[in-house]
Amino acid sequence: MILLIAYEKGGTGKSTLAKNLSVYLQQQGRDLITVDTDPQQTLYRWSEVRKSNPDVKPINCVKLTGRHILSELKSLSTKYQDLVIDAGGADSPALRAAMSIATHLLMPLQANVGDLEILDHMTEVLEQAQMINPDLHTRAVVTMCPALPSMAGVILDAKEFCKMKKVQPLNAIIYRRQAYDLSSLSGLTALESNDPKARQEVLELANEFLEV
């Protein structure tokens, strides 16, 4: 499986999902490697911190940039059961290369106008990728939601907007919780935190989206 987590905007929780889904796959006994194509290198830095934590199994991460990224991704895909790719928040050659060979694409977005406006261009890029990669399994997920009852309607509206743009949203939702940020400081994830709600969110997302 080649799992790509991508959206053409920063701050939507891509790296957070990459960390948590990588640990989920590790806990399932999968042989995986993570790939960071984002110039900010959030996933790579987290991986290095995790390696220094003796209480957990490390997860290797490689940084890939430049024009040879497609051939490098193809090479990695022959050596591991799973690749988890964290893409930068922009349309780029790296994003398009990863979309051309990914088996799964997860697009995290917040339920706000700025994030939803980007979906128009993101779907254009997706349509081009599907000409090359027609079996790409694609879903959107609403992330970083305030845990307020008043947000329920806003979240539903965001999901309906995704459907209108022909991108199926997941039922699972990721809320804005301290467990996601605090666990990262030690190279951990919400799955390894003491927050049962955060753990359950990740499990629901993984079970709904991944076909392992």
Residue 92 CA to residue 146 CA, distance in Å, equals: 30
Span of 10-14, 136-140, 171-175, 200-204 with lowest mean pLDDT: 10-14
Residue 133: per-residue pLDDT: 96
Q: What is the DSSP letter of 2?
A: E
User: pTM score, two decimals?
Assistant: 0.94
| pLDDT exceeds cutoff 60 at 143 | yes
- pLDDT tens per residue across span 166-212: 999 999 999 999 999 999 999 999 999 999 999 999 999 999 999 65
Residue 68: per-residue pLDDT: 86
Residue 199 CA to residue 202 CA, distance in Å, equals: 5
pLDDT > 70 in the chain, percent = 99
Alpha helices in the chain (DSSP H): 14-27, 42-51, 69-77, 93-101, 113-132, 152-164, 178-184, 196-209
Residue 184: per-residue pLDDT: 95
Q: How far apart are the first and last CA of the chain?
A: 8
| pLDDT exceeds cutoff 90 at 162 | yes
- In 3D space, the residue among 42, 43, 41 whose CA is nearest the CA of residue 32 turns out to be 43
Question: Which residue is it, tokens 């079970």?
Answer: 207
- State the CB neighbour count (10 A cutoff) for residue 84: 30
- pLDDT tens per residue across span 81-129: 999 999 987 888 889 999 999 999 999 999 999 889 999 999 999 999 9
Q: What is the 3-state secondary structure (H, E, C) of 97-128?
A: HHHHHCCEEEEEECCCHHHHHHHHHHHHHHHH
Residue 134: its H or E element: none
Provide the sign of the torsion angle of the four alpha carbons 37, 38, 40, 41, taken in this order.
negative
pLDDT > 90 in the chain, percent = 83
Residue 147: per-residue pLDDT: 79
β-bridge mates for residue 142, sequence order: 109, 173
Residues 141/107, Cβ–Cβ less than 8 Å: yes
Residue 11: per-residue pLDDT: 87
Residue 16 CA to residue 170 CA, distance in Å, equals: 17
Residue 105: per-residue pLDDT: 97
- pLDDT tens per residue across span 45-74: 999 999 999 999 999 999 998 778 999 999
